[in-house]
Amino acid sequence: MERVVNDWSLEVCQMKLEDNGTLTVKFEDSPPDSQKKSTNSLSLHFESDRLQEFITATDVYRSLESEFKSVMELSGELVTIVNKEGIVERVSSNCKKIMGLTVDEFVGRSIYDMERLGVITLSSSKKVLETLKEVQMTQRTRGDRRLFVRGIPLFNESGSLEKVINFSRDITEESNLQERLREREYEIGVLLKEIQRGHSEKNLLVSKAAEIEKVSYLLSKVAQTDATVLFLGETGVGKSAFAKYLHELSPRRAAPFIPLNCAVLPDQLVESELFGYAKGSFTGANQQGKKGLIEAAAGGTLFLDEIGELNLQTQTKLLQVLQEKTFTPIGKTEPVKVDVRFVTATNRDLEEMVETGTFRRDLFYRINVVPVHIPALRERVEDIPMLIHHFVDKFNGNYKRMCSISKDAIDTLINYEWPGNVRELENMMEQLIITAPSEVIQVSDLPEKVQRSKERNKMFKGSFKEQMQEHEWKILHDALQEARNLNDIAEKLKIDVSTISRKLKKHGLKLR
């Protein structure tokens, strides 16, 4: 700053304000008609309040003050300035909205007192004063607002901390949105699991037949209970798939589903597989003993397929489990308590076996709580195309093939009788995927027995299902002409009374 007074040039080169209120001004002066400059200094002492008045009265100070306030307000964040004693010196005007206090209520207060009184949970200024480092943290206000705060230390020329400036951003709504987003993500995750589980369950039952829809609905109701279910139907209709479907629908789905085909093991092994045994119980036994399948299925479902093949001794022990929920492993004396749901299946006429004494009557009543009849594949021909495509996709994936099947081949398969039901269809499609000479399975690729079936069916009118129903109706109608009661018909046709009753009702026939 240079000033000329009466041709005397004065140039201020340094100003310094001491802590004691002394203002030292150094300047260079040039007298008139002289080329030489001299350096001089002037010291002025002010009372602190008078000095403040002097400074704030200057145009430069007022300009800087206006600019500084504008910067604080335009940032959009809550800006606070705290001195080295922890006293708030400045705060932006949005203090009321964010902190619940006016500027006048906030300025001049101690950060330590505000933290103690719960105005804020954690003071960023306090942390900066303690560490002399920049900090970032999340605060919660007394009005339950959440703030993201950045506290920055301001040092003087000598390196001592002078002030702390804080920039606080209100993240309450953002936090609420994030929390709601997390809740929705959790809900979506649960729904996705349910959808995936439902998709898996649906895949277990590849069908659009009305009869299967009825079975599916019944199982959805029964699954929520622990009632014992008996699946009835011919070999290969998929009774094990329906049992698995029932388990997946039930509250026990997270626990084991353990199947046992009672027909594939000899009598002496079925019992040990079911109930387990202690070590050294018999010759050839595992020396450590073995846990039985009933115990292994604890909390879940034990599926006994072909239960009609069990011998009477095993039937007796199984009845005890069903009645008392306890059993005794072979070679042990202490009973074991279990929580298992039993699901059974058979292709045999258990009622006839009861009458002949080969199946326990009391066990039959225990397992026949909810009987579910699975129709043969020839009785639901509309499912055959769906099953064909399902197995083509399955075995393409298994064997890394890209096969498809022609419409003529599908029509031929539909007209086949399928004595082995779904199991036969599955095995045949696996064979075709492996052996097909091209990527499109043709009629000529099908087994000869299937091709012959197509030629044979050309001689008959109507579908195979319609012809079978017509033939069944004629047999029953003729039998009714001479029968006195259902027992007479059952004896003549060599089938049980319950089957006769069901089929008569199906065809609308009655005894005279």
pLDDT band at 100 (very low <50, low <70, confident <90, very high): confident
Return the pLDDT at 70: 63
Summarised one tens digit per residue, pLDDT across range 447-502 is 998 988 766 555 445 566 667 777 787 788 778 777 778 888 888 888 877 788 88
* Largest Cα–Cα separation, the chain: 156
Return the pLDDT at 236: 92
Phi then psi for residue 256, to 5 deg, are: -65, 145
Tokens of 409: 């081949």
Higher pLDDT, 33 or 121: 121
What average pLDDT score do residues 2-8 get?
Answer: 48
Residues in the chain: 512
Return the pLDDT at 241: 92
Residues 6 or more apart whose CB falls under 8 angstroms from that of 444 comprise 451
Dihedral angle of Cα 343, 346, 351, 357, to the nearest 10 degrees: -100
What average pLDDT score do residues 250-254 get?
Answer: 94
Summarised one tens digit per residue, pLDDT across range 109-146 is 898 888 888 888 778 888 999 999 999 988 888 777 88
Q: Over 50: is that where the pLDDT of 2 sits?
A: no
pTM over 0.75: no
Collapsing DSSP to helix, strand or coil, 298 comes out as coil
Higher pLDDT, 359 or 148: 359
The CA distance from 145 to 98, in Å, is 7
The CA distance from 116 to 114, in Å, is 5
Return the pLDDT at 487: 81
Higher pLDDT, 489 or 353: 353
The CA distance from 307 to 230, in Å, is 9
